[in-house]
Amino acid sequence: MTTTHFSGGTIWRGASSEPSDALLISDGIVIAVGATDVAARLGELPADTAVEHVDLAGGFLMPSFGDGHAHPMFGGLEAAGPQVRRCTSVDEIVAEVRRCAEANPEADWIVGASYDGSLVEGGLFDARWLDEAVADRPVVLRAWDYHTVWCNSRALELAGITADTPDPVLGEIPRLPDGSPLGILREWGAVDLIDAVRPPQSEDDRLRALDRAARYLLDRGVTWVQDAWVEPADVDTYLTAARSGDLGIRVNLALYADPRHFAEQLPGMVASRARVRAAGSDLLTAETVKFFADGVVENETGALLEPYCSSLHNHGMRVWEGDSLAEAVTAVDAEGFQIHIHAIGDAAVRQALDAIETAITINGPRDRRPVIAHAQLVDAADLRRFAELGVIATMQPLWAQLDALMTVLTVPRLGEDRADEQYRMRSILDSGARLAFGSDWPVSSGAPLEGLAIATSRRTADGEPAGGWTPDEIVGIGPALDAYSQSVAHQAFADRAPTPWGEIRPGASADLVILDADPRTLTAAELAALRVRATYLRGSLAAPTV
């Protein structure tokens, strides 16, 4: 029996509970909370029981963080290619691509992620710039938004993309004045043209990526993550990691639904879920299906009720036309899957809510916990529907700031007035709906404390604007901590697990994080810099960070 006694700091059980002063866990399970109950249980233990005492030394212990929407495979794979995320100019990106290519002369393709799309006006990067670094091998870089790729001329050539190539369904090929491709491909239909000729990563590379992703998240206090875009090959990789005992973190797989192939996909989704269940891992589930209702505002592919300020895309892009999203959601819901819908624009959010309402009406009541991810713009008439339909708004707090992405790419497309209606997190909470937080890592940082700093201030790292951007949407630190812990656990159906997690109470799994200080007492800048001292998964120290 492994027994651990925590004391000497604040033990936080949620915004609606009083903090405690002691915690006792045994064999990965919470058995007592509070000094009185802990003392009583300690007195009941056999005399020869070894008890480890962890002095919190004024620190803050709480349920571990969850990430309600991220892409672990993508994040882990970023380390394998040119390191362009840190680059602050096109010249730096080109130099890094050149360095990577020279260091890997055996690589047939140079593939990397994820560059800052705001470095060039309109996000329009030219293939010829990459040609300066590598001309004889294909180069493919993903942008931060993961909805865009930047290719060199050789990659475009191998994919057969020319001036005569029409824009594909669910995609766009920006062009030079003579009609030839510029070098940017937007959304799945266009990106698929490259993916069709690009060799896949090896299984060893993918397993290493999952290991890196788990370590990255655990180091930041995260013990459960929603992988929000899973293809059939990803299921195989996750199962290999789970069966070998190398997964290291709790993961739920959201199986990707493609409107171009959905009829053939659904039986495979059911089969994938069955395979994961049969594996019997308490770390891995596959209970969710992921839909995209639209793209992103930065590409003008987010679906809007009112048109963009430019004329490039008018109202944006709907991924599922007509009633097809409602029909597909209803079919997936009938199979017992949880629904998880990417919806950025207000038109997409409305379509997603309509689809969920249709599924409820046709399939009848049950505990669904459907998710709408991002909800960047929500029309005022639709705010109440989240609570009415039991929809969880899984939002990305790091995006709610006036950084370069917002000021260079987003605000000019939406206009000032509409831009100030973005990320209505406080309004979602006040409506009675459930708000959960996710990072969308590697689109943005996977560190919950960085996200919490923005959620509770709506200010950039430089402290701008002083009073916070759209300050009425600031979320208090208690509800924000809940949104990154208990609400994500609710999204994950953690209360239904054989050993529930996501809360601190007797009988729950000891999934915990220890912070250096009480985040409720810190400024936003201090919160972002707060150190994660340790992460526990099922009572075992999963991420010592000292």
What are the distances in angstroms from CA 466 to CA 401, 402, 411, 459? Answer: 12, 12, 19, 7
- Over residues 46-62, mean pLDDT: 95
* Domains of the chain, earliest start first: 1-63+506-514+524-542 (2.30.40.10), 108-194 (3.10.310.70)
Strand 540-541 to strand 65-70: parallel, antiparallel, or no bridges (unpaired)?
unpaired
What are the distances in angstroms from CA 304 to CA 120, 313, 412, 540? Answer: 24, 10, 14, 46
Q: What is the mean pLDDT of the chain?
A: 96
- Summarize pLDDT for 225-239 with one digit per residue, the tens: 999 999 999 999 999
d(CA 124, CA 540): 47
Token pair belonging to 357? 């309402």
Would you state the pLDDT for residue 537? Answer: 98
Token pair belonging to 227? 């992988």
Token pair belonging to 262? 């959905």
Kind and range of the H or E element at 418? helix 416-419
Would you state the pLDDT for residue 267? Answer: 97
pLDDT of 545 > 80? The answer is no
- Summarize pLDDT for 180-214 with one digit per residue, the tens: 999 999 988 999 999 999 999 899 999 999 999 99
Contacting residues for 544 by C-beta, under 8 A, at least 6 apart: 534
Q: In the beta sheet, which residues pair with residue 227?
A: 70, 253
Can you say how many angstroms the Cα of residue 497 is from the centroid of all Cα atoms in its chain? 22
d(CA 482, CA 488): 8
Contacting residues for 151 by C-beta, under 8 A, at least 6 apart: 127, 130, 138, 139, 140, 141, 159, 183, 184, 185, 194
Burial 124-135 (b: 16+ CB within 10 A, else e): ebbbebbbebbe
Would you state the pLDDT for residue 122? Answer: 85
Q: Which amino acid is at 363?
A: N
pLDDT of 546 > 60? The answer is no
d(CA 290, CA 293): 10
Can you say how many angstroms the Cα of residue 546 is from the centroid of all Cα atoms in its chain? 26
- Summarize pLDDT for 276-303 with one digit per residue, the tens: 999 999 999 999 999 999 999 998 999 9
pTM for this entry: 0.94
Query: Considering the chain, what percentage of its residues have pLDDT values greater than 90?
Result: 93
Would you state the pLDDT for residue 1? Answer: 66
pLDDT of 312 > 90? The answer is no
- Over residues 86-101, mean pLDDT: 96
